Amino acid sequence: MNEQEIIDAENRLMANVFGKRQIVIAQGKAATLWDINGKEYVDCMGSFGVALLGHCHPRVVAAIREQAEKLISCHGSLYNDQRSEFLQKLVAITPKGLDKAFLSNSGAESVECAIKLARKYTGKPEIIALMGGYHGKTMGALSATWDKKYRAPFQPLVPEFKHVPPDNLERLTAAISDRTAAVLLEPIRGEGGIRVPPDGYLQGVRQLCSEKNVLLILDEVQTSFGRTGKLFGCQNWDVTPDVMTLAKPFAGGLPIGITVAKAEIMSAFKVGEHSTTFSGGPLVCAAGCAAIDALIEENLTEQAAAKGKYFKARLEELQAKHDIVKEVRGLGLMLGMELRYDVFNIIQKCTQNGVLILDAGRNVLRFLPPLVITTQQIDQTIAVLGSVLEEEENERANQSSASAN
């Protein structure tokens, strides 16, 4: 099939739910992707935060290859060597006390599990989430997600979900009632525009939850696995939740969701109360073992901290040069650049020039590159983005002088 035939078939046969770019990606290595015509791209999308190890990490490829010859599926009702090993590697790196997990297949599923767990453990129904928060699009997770455009077409959602303004402990305090099971939030809001909370906020939420006997669920689907320069985003503020949701990078690119909690809390689930057919399959767990080994042994968290500092400083150089840039923010390699205008054209032009960047809302560029991105690739990204910003500014200046004449 040629490029156009591939695009036409996807458009015809797949639900039209993704805002597509008109390129066909065929291959990847580390932080580089190639399209079907052999054109090269610097990947600052990282498969929406999945490809933290880079594409086709050799250890993950070898583990998948080896395991695929032995056993691919194995239901949770049977024990399995890879699942057991993965769980041990996982709880060796999770914050202290979070040592019992449920394995699923996606971020939204990890949130679903956390919501059910909070209700079961506390016997209370209410979940408090943040305005601007994002937790996925299945009905429970969507009930915690804030953006109206995702929620409105699917009412009624799950009852007893409340949203409070972010970074505001007073409003959160006022919202907690004797019906509240849990507070659910992202340590740094990703989809919501790369919003880093002020120091003290997350510690305050932790303290409040402990005082009011309410569970703290941190959604670390986007902020974990070294992304922010710490293994888990919450470690930037020395906060440990009661329940944590994980997903994207934990199986080196294969689908996974993880809900990890204090053992006492996870033990609230009795046999049959929660499950999924694919929970902890051997292929995914073998890839997950290789992914965690690579993360630790290749010091990728430290690399994220150092490269993130460099990348952010280079984005700030662009901010100093271009009036169109309002703010640069983020931690580690989870970075955002807020523009004064819609980012759509800029993303399209960067794509044409070989750099893939994400959005986070209408006017924020979001950078979630693999942690193995090179300095040269960061420089290339800055060079392309710089010239696209300049072109955009010139076009806007020409348009406004034309309309003034």
Ligand X SMILES: Cc1ncc(COP(=O)(O)O)c(C=O)c1O
Q: Which residues bind ligand X (CB under 6 A)?
A: 48, 106-108, 111, 134-136, 186, 190-191, 219, 221-222, 247
| Min CB(360)–ligand X separation in Å | 10
Show the DSSP H helices in 146-281 as ranges: 148-151, 169-175, 201-212, 263-266
Instruction: Read off φ and ψ for residue 293, nearest 5 degrees.
Output: -60, -45
| Min CB(257)–ligand X separation in Å | 7
Report the candidate in 226, 216, 204, 219 with the shortest Cα–Cα distance to residue 132.
Answer: 219
| Min CB(190)–ligand X separation in Å | 5
Comparing CB distances to ligand X, the nearer of 220 and 392 is 220
Query: Cβ-closest residue to ligand X?
Result: 107
Report the candidate in 176, 261, 256, 180 with the shortest Cα–Cα distance to residue 217.
Answer: 261
| Min CB(244)–ligand X separation in Å | 11
Comparing CB distances to ligand X, the nearer of 33 and 246 is 246
Comparing CB distances to ligand X, the nearer of 106 and 235 is 106
Comparing CB distances to ligand X, the nearer of 60 and 258 is 258
C-alpha distances out from residue 229 to 225, 254, 268, 371, Å: 9, 23, 33, 10
C-alpha distances out from residue 208 to 126, 213, 272, Å: 16, 8, 33
Give the separation between CA 328 and CA 324, rounded to whole angstroms: 12
The secondary structure element, H or E, covering residue 60 is helix 58-70
Comparing CB distances to ligand X, the nearer of 80 and 107 is 107
| Min CB(229)–ligand X separation in Å | 17
Q: Count of CB atoms within 10 A of residue 217's CB?
A: 29
Give the separation between CA 267 and CA 297, rounded to whole angstroms: 32
> What length does the chain have?
405
Q: Count of CB atoms within 10 A of residue 297's CB?
A: 9
| Min CB(18)–ligand X separation in Å | 12
Comparing CB distances to ligand X, the nearer of 28 and 49 is 49
Residue with tokens 């004449």: 405
Comparing CB distances to ligand X, the nearer of 304 and 382 is 304
| Min CB(51)–ligand X separation in Å | 13
